[in-house]
Every structure is written in C-alpha cells, then in structure tokens.
Structure 1
Amino acid sequence: MDLYTLCVWLPSLLLLPLISQFIRNKRGVTRSRPPPSPSRLYIIARMFGSLLHHSLTQLSKKLGPVMLLKLGSVPVLVVSSAEVAREVLKTHDHVFCNRPVLEGFRKHLYNFKDVALSPYGEYWRQMRKICVLELLSAKKVHSFRSVRVQEVENMIKSISLTSSCVVNLDEKLNLFTHTVILRIALGRSYEGKEFESGGNLSELLNGAIGMMGAFSVLSLFPYIGRVIALFTRLQQKLDNNFNELDALLQQVVDEHSDPDRQTGEYEDIVDVLLRLEKEQFGEIRFTKDHIKAILMDMYLAGSSSSSIVLIWTMAELAKNPRVMKKVQEEVRRCVGKKEKVDENDLDHLHYLKMVVKESLRIHPSGSVLIPRECMSHCIINGYDIYPKTWVLINIWAIARDPVPWKNPEEFLPERFIDCPIDYKGKDFEFLPFGAGRRGCPGMSLGVAIIELALANLLYSFNWELPPGISTENFDMEETGVFSLEKKSKLQLVPIKYEWELEEKNFM
C-alpha cells in the first residue's frame, strides 16, 4: 500500500466507529446504560454479614440511589431515594406494577389467587376492587370497631393482672394483633379451638411465614438453593405446613357455609367472600381456593405488621421519657375520667398521631417494600432497566435521608407539626404502606388497630424500665431480613394509672 492510499484511508478507518455511532443514534439505537453494580464477591462478603437494609443503605452511599444487584439468577434494582421512588411508583407505575414469582409463597397462596402477590392483570384488578369495595372499605373497617374495642379491653385487663411487675409486652401485643386479625377474618380467634386434625392455627400460620420467606430467598439461587432446601427438608416442611393449614382453613369455610350457623354481630371476611362466591362478583369465578388465599393475605399482611409497629412505638416511648410524658398528658387530658379511650377520642389526639407517624418513619414494619417486577424496558434516573428485573424500594433508607428529614435518627414526633408529609402514598419521602397501584389496601385498618391500642396502653398505665435498665443501655437493636423486628423482647413495668389519685396529686 503506497503512502497516498494510507493517508486517505487511515483517517477514515479511525473515524469509522464515530460514524457508526452517529448512524445508530440517528436510527434510535443507543448503547445500554446499566445502573452501577457491585461485584458478586462484594455482595457475598458485605451484604450477608449484616442486616439487609443496613447493607443496602451503606452500598447506596457508595454507588448512588439506584444500583443493580445480581442475586443468583435475578437482577435486582435497589432504589434508595424519594426522587427515584417517585419515578418507579408514580411516573412509571404502569411498568413496575407486576410482582415477581416468590416460589415459597406459591402453594400457601393457592397459586397466587390472592391480592398481594398475584401477577398484574385483569385478575388482579378485579381482586383489588373486591378488597377496596368489599373487604377493607372505610365502612367495613368501621364495622369491625367492636372487635378492636373488645380485644383492647382484653389486653389491658391481662396487663393489669401483672401491674408493677415486668411484663413481656412482645407477647401481649402479638397476641392482641393476632386475635384482632383472626376475629375480623374468621369471626373468632380459634384460640384453643379443637380442629378435626388437632392442629393449632396460630402455630401453623407463624411457622409458615418464616419458611415461605426462606424458600423464596433460596429460589433465587437455583442450584445451591435446591441443595440447601433438600438438605434442610425445607420443601417437605413447607408442604406439610400447607396441608395442615389448608385443612384448618377449609374447616373454617365449611363452618361458615353451614346454613344452621348462628350469625355474629358483624359480617367477617369469610362471610363476605362466601357471599361473593354466590353472587360471582365481576368476571372472576370465585372458588374456595380464592377465599383461603385472601385469608392468608389478611394474616400475613395484618397481624405481624401491626404488632411490630406497636412494639417499636412503645420501645421508643420508653427510651424517650419526654415524648412519653407529653403524649400521655394529651391522652389523659382528652379522656378525663372515662375508664378507656374510645375511637371517637382518636381524632382529638393530634400528638399521639404524630407519635405513630414518627414510629412508622423510623421503624417501618418492613425495611423494603414487597418486590416489584419490571414488565418492559424503561429508563429510571437515566439508567436502562429491562423486563424481569426485580425492584426493591429501600424505605428504611429513604426515611433516614437527611435532606427531607432533619436529624433523621432522632425520634422526634414534633417534626410532623405543620408538616404536609403523610404516609398515604402521595409523599415519597415516607412510604410505610407503599404507593401506586400496589399500595397496601389495608392501611386504614392497620392504623385504626395501632392508634386505639396505643392510646389505651398510654392511658391505662405509667410505664417504667425494668430494674437495672436505663434509657442509655435500653436495647433497640433490629433483626429480620424484610420485616423489621426488635431483636430483644420488649419488657417494661406497667404501673396502673388511677385518675382520682393523679387528680389529688395535681391539686
């Protein structure tokens, strides 16, 4: 090749990549821009040695509010800022409103005939409509008022029996929320109920939760997950648990179907669903499996989440006596000489509502929202996100962002004075119940349970720390993967409150 030819063609060859890129851009074809992603080794070394939400939050400080993790065979997008959460849950909600298949839940939810984890589509839309209009409407939540009142009274009486002694408040609050949800769903708590199989409903439900979560995590790693599941007999245990639970739930449904059954003072969830089965609401051909799947949803979503919030709220109040004193003064001033707080009083307890908000902010019952799944290619924060990518919204990190939240680690209910931010899904700095199409439909019921129980606990007792425990060494350590529980049991000393005695001391 002579010098002239070389001088002509060499610049052309060097410019060829730029020309090719220009042509692709003109045709609308651009190079993919994936979110930043740590190495698999980093994930193994750093993420599985501590709490998931802590690891994700620390990693987001290094990589930014959007990052892509490769967990086994699944790409997982982690979102850690309100701005990006708004993109996912509002701007592109139609793209991210599907649920990934969580294999551990498939059987217990009757092949996803429920609402929370069913795939997005016409079936889910109809089921969501049933929840909003028939099961969890404001009118329906109000109809369960007597259940909440009765079970709060039972809890207060139980605590009163051990007044001035150390009480395991975890146990009391878990039993309270468990009983409320079962009575709302099934008509009664079935505590001590002898089923034909001899099974215990409470033990089976609580056992199912941990196993379903563990199996779903293992399913992310197809090969090693199968080996671990086989070695631990997790699949067999899960199947046995389902078979027993299914038999118990079927017995509950059969009892409700009995024409000679005496109706209760309110229409429980099984009653509503059996009525819908007869009416064949909408386009869904309702079956007993649909009913049992929704009952599982009710328990999984309602029981543990409410108790977690109540436990953390009482723990924060015990650790912050200034806030405890202020909220108790409000409750007792409002209630006066009455023996208890009723739901009509709650609208006047503004500071108590701030306490609940602050507890939901700093201790949401779940550190991340239930995973979503991308349905089509989408641009989020400038990055390409592809179908089948899972999405985790780290609401724990978002609620600790120092930009919208001054001193985010401090338990300070006063931050909500004249603050427009609320938990109802419109403000993406604060998402304890999620947002968008997949927001929690049971929010109103959950808040009603929490507020009434908390108000009565604060009215009925003065609360002290156990001997040897101070606000400085009071344990507030967290535990859990997706649920955000208090690691140690909440133990406090209740001192029965006497209004007349308090009035005399004041005078």
Structure 2
Amino acid sequence: MESLTIILTFLLSLFLIFKLLPNKKSDPSKPLNLIPGPKRLPVIGNLHLLAGNTPPHHVFRKLSAQYGPLMRIQLGGLPYLIVSTVEVAKEVLRTHDLAFSNRPPGLAAEAFSYNYTGVGFAPYGEPWRVLKKLCTVELLSMKRVRSFRHVRQEETENLVRFITAAAGDGAAVDLSEKVHLLAYDIVTRASVGATTKDRLKVMHITRGLGNFGAGFNAADLYPSVKVLPFLTGIQFKIEKMHREMDGMFQEIIAEARAAEKDDGFEDLLGILLKCQAEGSEMAITDDDIKAVMLDMFLAGSETSAAVIEWAMSEMVKNPVTLKKAQEEVRKVFDKTGRVDEERIHELEYLPLAIKETLRIHPPLPFMMPRLNSSKCTLNGYEIPSNTRLIVHAWALGRDPQYWPDAEQFIPERFQASTIDYKGNDFQYLPFGSGRRLCPGMNFGVANSDLALATLLYHFDWEMPRGLRNQDLDMVEDFAITVRRKNPLILVPTLKRPLNVGK
C-alpha cells in the first residue's frame, strides 16, 4: 500500500510538471545542445539513468567514457556539464577559474547557509573573499590548526579507551560509528570549545543535510515549477531542520557570549565573536557566524571521518599494506609509548596510504557544482553564462592515463611523487582547486593523520570470525560525502596499552 502511494504521488507530480513546465522544443543550434550526451527523455531528461542502486559518480563515469570528456546531462529541467578528464578540468579550474567561481542556487543551500553567506555556498565576490581570508588567516591557518593539537590528542585517546573496553573476548566493534563520533567531537571542541549536549543533534542535522545534497531533489531540478517544493514536501522538511539547527546554534552563541573563559584556549566561535565585536573588513552578523559553523561541522567532520573509514577499510582489505603501515607506526612511537603529533612527521608510509585513500575515495566524488558568470569556451564548445558544471574528481583520480592500475590501492605510487593536496595537479583533487580550494584542508588532514596512527599503533585489526580480509565489502553510500554503505565492523586486539604518562 505504501509503495502504491509513492507511485501515485510520483505520477501526479509528473503530470503537474508536464502541465506547469513551459513547452520548449530542443533547438539543435543552441550551444549546449551541441555538446555530446545521452539521449534525453521529455520532462525528466536523463534522470532515469540515475534510477537503481548504482551511485551517480559511477553512472557519470561510465557515460563519460561513451560521450566524451565534456558531457551534457539533463537532470530534470536543468542541463549540467560533467567534466571527467584532466585537460578539460584544467580549462575550468585554471583558464576559466574566475568565470566558474560561482555556485548554483538550491533550496537546501539557501536555507542552511543563511542565504548563501557561508564559505562553501557564497557567490564569488567581495563578501566571499573577506570571509575566505578570515577562514584561511584566522580560523584555519596552520598555526590555528596546531593550537587544536591537544583536542585531537585527548579525543583520540578517548577513542582508544572505548575500543579497549569493548574489545574483550574477541568482540567486534563498529569502527564506522566510532570514527564519525571522533570527528564530530574534535570539530565541536575546536569550533565551540566543548563537546556540547547537542553532540548527537549536530550529527543528525549534518547527516540530514548530506542526504539533501545527495538526492538531486526534484524542487531544485525543476526551478520553474514554483509549487514543487510544497508538493514534494521538501520545503517543510528544510524549514523544520533549519529551525532546529538555528535554535541550536543560537543557544551555543548565547552561551559563548555569557561565558568568561580564562583557559587560554581560543575556539573558532570565540574568534568569530571577537571579530564581530571589534569589527573587521565586513560586518559579521550572527547568521554569518552560524553559516561558518555549519561549514565546519559539515566539511570538517564528515570528510575527516570518511577518510579514516576508507583508509582503514582499504588497509584491512590489503593486509600487506596494513602490516607495513602498522610496523612503521609502532617503530616510531614505541620510543615514547604514545602516539602524538610531535612525531607524526617521522612517518613516511602512512601519509602515502592517506594520499592513496583520497585518490581512490575522495570524500566529495563531485567537486561542489559551479556556475559560470560569463560566456567561455571549453573543449572547443561555447558555454553560455549561468551554465551548471560539475568536475568529476572521483573519475579524475581513477583515470588510467595518469594512474596505472587505477582501481588498485597502492600507496607506493606516491613514494617519488610531487603531487600534493593543493589542487595544482588536476588528476588529484580531493580538496578542490583554484579560488574555491577547501580552506579546511590542513585541519582535515591533521585529524586523519593522528586518528589513523593511533588506531594502528594500539590495536591489531581483523575481520569478524568466518570472514576473510578480501571479503570486506566496499559498497558506497552516496551523499554529499561518500561513506561506506555498511558499517566497518572489525575485531580489535589491544597490542599497545594506552600510556598517557610518558
């Protein structure tokens, strides 16, 4: 009965879309219609190609192999361009970086970024430049990231205590859940100075936002049908979640203003409130602060957790790699009996494994969508202004032209490589590139480095009884970030007890 209701609602929505959409015939002379792409159906365009269980980034990669490095795809009422090769990505992100520095509008993005005031969704312009400068210089500089070292240390040690308590008699643990909680706790403490009572609510809201971004929701794909947000119910869901999030953030801000802190620790909220009180290059409102906080929770926690989760998955599935990383970590940290960031730089192999994880499992398989502000030419085609474009980072990281054995997890491929995270090598864009390069890159990498070193140092890791390492499934769950579809369940054996006194 429930499935029948869903089908009837879908058919009704389609009927209304047919009636409400302007009747425009495809004009083959228009520039976008000259770009290769799969055949489009009336009204839905190519949405039918995304039906089923195959994640969109897999679908688009397969289609791009058929239609070329710059592909036109029609998602409902909107044309998108999908960029899947290094050469065209370079045109977008270097030659036309300024033109493609804007973001397309969206219902969820507008609401949750407080009318596009956060770093991630703000339109390119002076307010965004000031905010980006504030983030890179004040909030997320290397100096500031280092100041959060004790937060990372304490939270990873708390994780070790939990796993140690849960690991008796060969018991398995849900490592996915634990690393996500770890990431949220680190981000929360760095952002607001404490793990607030709303810790689980923050997780709930952040994951809910990720799901909004995953579904290519109909209201965004048919912007000319103004009643669609209400017909689909998406408007009410967004408003409900926004009220919940806004109330939580307002309460946190009020508590921070009322608190008298003298512990010498400066969290991100405190810095923002100080800039607000003292004045800066632009007036900072409470909504601006909330938008930046949401950027931190959304980008800082989900991405770090995904990297840790996939790195552990790949190493467990490849025991030789796991052993090599583990032996190195223990060789370095057995000198003190404790994993700490002072000696992380002595590791050589684990950073290679993290780089390889980011190649094969970039947290954002599609770089955030872009919208060009002026007409330009890509791959020989004229691109009108206000065209939506997606750079397919997941496909670039698996391009066999640049990555031999591209589907294999081989950390050694980075051993003599100069490729880094800064977005100058277009076959490797885990944090984006150009003006929209992620300002939280250093923060995310620091969180992943320490957490992985800690997990490898203290514990041996095995599959649950009856399962082989090579049987570990790697099925993806597509949202804004790509997580494991099924939790990573492993059996830890304590090998190096926690000794914080050394």
Bigger radius of gyration among the two: 1
Deviation, 1:130, is: 0.6
Deviation, 1:207, is: 3.0
Q: How does 1:215-230 map to 2 (within 5 A)?
A: 218-222=219-223, 226-227=227-228, 229-230=229-230
Q: What residue number does 2:50 align with?
A: 47
1:78 is paired with a residue of what secondary structure? strand
- Does the C-alpha gap of structure 1 residues 213 and 399 become closer, same or farther in structure 2, counting only changes over 3 Å? closer
2:450 is paired with a residue of what secondary structure? helix
Cα distance in structure 1, aligned partners of 2:180 and 2:429: 23
Within the alignment, does 1:186 sit opposite 2:192 as a pair?
yes
User: Is the CA contact (8 Å cut-off) linking 2:31 and 2:384 kept in structure 1?
Assistant: no
1:284-341 CA deviation, whole Å, 9 max, x = no partner?
1111111111101111111111101110100101100000000111111111243321
Deviation, 1:88, is: 0.5
1:493 is paired with a residue of what secondary structure? strand
User: Is the CA contact (8 Å cut-off) linking 2:77 and 2:222 kept in structure 1?
Assistant: yes
Q: What residue number does 2:336 align with?
A: 338
Aligned pair count reads 463
Q: What residue number does 1:64 align with?
A: 68
Deviation, 1:247, is: 1.4
Higher deviation after alignment, 237-246 or 317-326: 237-246
- Does the C-alpha gap of structure 1 residues 217 and 483 become closer, same or farther in structure 2, counting only changes over 3 Å? farther
User: Is the CA contact (8 Å cut-off) linking 1:302 and 1:442 kept in structure 2?
Assistant: yes
User: Is the CA contact (8 Å cut-off) linking 2:317 and 2:471 kept in structure 1?
Assistant: no
Cα distance in structure 1, aligned partners of 2:59 and 2:189: 38
Cα distance in structure 2, aligned partners of 1:46 and 1:237: 26
Q: What residue number does 1:249 align with?
A: 249
1:388 is paired with a residue of what secondary structure? coil
Deviation, 1:32, is: 4.6
2:330 is paired with a residue of what secondary structure? helix
Cα distance in structure 1, aligned partners of 2:380 and 2:481: 31
Q: What residue number does 1:168 align with?
A: 174
1:192-245 CA deviation, whole Å, 9 max, x = no partner?
68xxxxx94443343343246547553112477954x43553322221221122
Q: How does 1:99-114 map to 2 (within 5 A)?
A: 99-114=103-118
User: Is the CA contact (8 Å cut-off) linking 2:215 and 2:479 kept in structure 1?
Assistant: no
Q: What residue number does 1:206 align with?
A: 207
1:183 is paired with a residue of what secondary structure? helix
Q: How does 1:245-394 map to 2 (within 5 A)?
A: 245-258=245-258, 261-282=260-281, 284-394=282-392
RMSD: 2.1
- Does the C-alpha gap of structure 1 residues 232 and 48 become closer, same or farther in structure 2, counting only changes over 3 Å? same
1:461-504 CA deviation, whole Å, 9 max, x = no partner?
0101111211232111112144211111100001001489xxxx
- Does the C-alpha gap of structure 1 residues 456 and 373 become closer, same or farther in structure 2, counting only changes over 3 Å? same
Q: What residue number does 1:456 align with?
A: 454
Q: What residue number does 1:483 align with?
A: 481
Cα distance in structure 1, aligned partners of 2:198 and 2:242: 20
Q: What residue number does 2:420 align with?
A: 422
Deviation, 1:184, is: 0.8
User: Is the CA contact (8 Å cut-off) linking 2:462 and 2:491 kept in structure 1?
Assistant: yes
Cα distance in structure 1, aligned partners of 2:273 and 2:240: 27
1:175 is paired with a residue of what secondary structure? helix
Q: What residue number does 2:433 align with?
A: 435
Letter of the aligned partner of 1:66 in structure 2?
L
Deviation, 1:255, is: 1.2
User: Is the CA contact (8 Å cut-off) linking 1:103 and 1:215 kept in structure 2?
Assistant: no
Unaligned runs of 5+ in 2: 1-28
Among residues 380, 403, 406, which one is paired with 1:405 in the alignment? 403
Cα distance in structure 2, aligned partners of 1:285 and 1:217: 35
1:68 is paired with a residue of what secondary structure? strand
Letter of the aligned partner of 1:388 in structure 2?
N
TM (norm. structure 1) is: 0.87
User: Is the CA contact (8 Å cut-off) linking 2:210 and 2:481 kept in structure 1?
Assistant: no
Letter of the aligned partner of 1:270 in structure 2?
L
Cα distance in structure 2, aligned partners of 1:151 and 1:376: 47
Identity value in percent: 39
User: Is the CA contact (8 Å cut-off) linking 1:115 and 1:127 kept in structure 2?
Assistant: yes
User: Is the CA contact (8 Å cut-off) linking 1:51 and 1:481 kept in structure 2?
Assistant: no
- Does the C-alpha gap of structure 1 residues 213 and 471 become closer, same or farther in structure 2, counting only changes over 3 Å? closer
User: Is the CA contact (8 Å cut-off) linking 1:374 and 1:390 kept in structure 2?
Assistant: yes
2:362 is paired with a residue of what secondary structure? coil
1:426-458 CA deviation, whole Å, 9 max, x = no partner?
110100000000010000000000000000100
Deviation, 1:43, is: 2.1
Letter of the aligned partner of 1:203 in structure 2?
H
User: Is the CA contact (8 Å cut-off) linking 1:421 and 1:427 kept in structure 2?
Assistant: yes
User: Is the CA contact (8 Å cut-off) linking 1:103 and 1:219 kept in structure 2?
Assistant: yes
Cα distance in structure 2, aligned partners of 1:361 and 1:201: 28
User: Is the CA contact (8 Å cut-off) linking 2:72 and 2:80 kept in structure 1?
Assistant: yes
Within the alignment, does 1:131 sit opposite 2:135 as a pair?
yes
Cα distance in structure 2, aligned partners of 1:31 and 1:190: 54
